[in-house]
Structure 1
């Protein structure tokens, strides 16, 4: 053997890489790897279950959350429907019928060829009545009083007179040939008088 020859390669020690190669890291035994892998798998399983459970809880919470309730109040519509229809009242104003005026009481015309004397009203203390013509003077009594005489062609006038004997209110009239004269007296000893006189050319006034 020459001095220049390299020494023969020595076999590596157990676990030592041959000369010129990188050493291989030592590997854990299988039982040690199982002790690490099993807890890691269990941990991953629990994490996955927790995540899934959290997702389910969120879904369940989301699904369990009640939907918002929308309330529609129909009170206004109900009131509008229930409200009675407005009542329309038509008032017609009837034209007032004018009351018929009572005809004024007039003394009836005396029959032809007759003279009518009348006295009426109130005389609580009494009344003195005289009636007739220029040739006849007669006394009357009581109220109301009505007397009739025959018409004389030569008579100048016909009259009636009634005097109150205290308080009272009386009327008197004389009618000749359709012509009437009236008088009125009230209170004390006042006198009611009415007279018709014959005209020069006929007729009475």
Structure 2
């Protein structure tokens, strides 16, 4: 038999809740620190971002109209009373003038043209497919035809009968051509021709 004891000898303090000698005591792990700085930083950034978004929305939405100090909500940029109605009236007048000549061709001759041995001023007007005779009275002639988009041209001509001084014009689709004749048997001629774009020149 061996003289050694069956179990190693215990050191003093072993088994009574104390750590064995020669070993460092085990420290419990400290609780994880919450990154308060990050949370506060992100929270502040979110608030600042929200504030910036609100300012942008207010600037865009409310910047277009300036309210008066009384809080009535009237815009300072509003036109004074009467100005807007004047503008509307002017627009209506322009529309009326435009409507009067839309879809029409206007032919005019004016000036002095004494009658000669062969009679008075000889006037012809119309298009390539519709030619008419006009009468010069009280120093002027004016006629209107419906605009035909298929017409190749519109013209007016007036021949003097020995003397005089006249002007002539043809207007279609906002375009006007003019002519002039003076003395003898000269002819005043004005013509508008259709172009490839459907307009007149």
What TM-score comes out, normalization by structure 1 length?
A: 0.46
What TM-score comes out, normalization by structure 2 length?
A: 0.47
**Bigger radius of gyration among the two:** 1
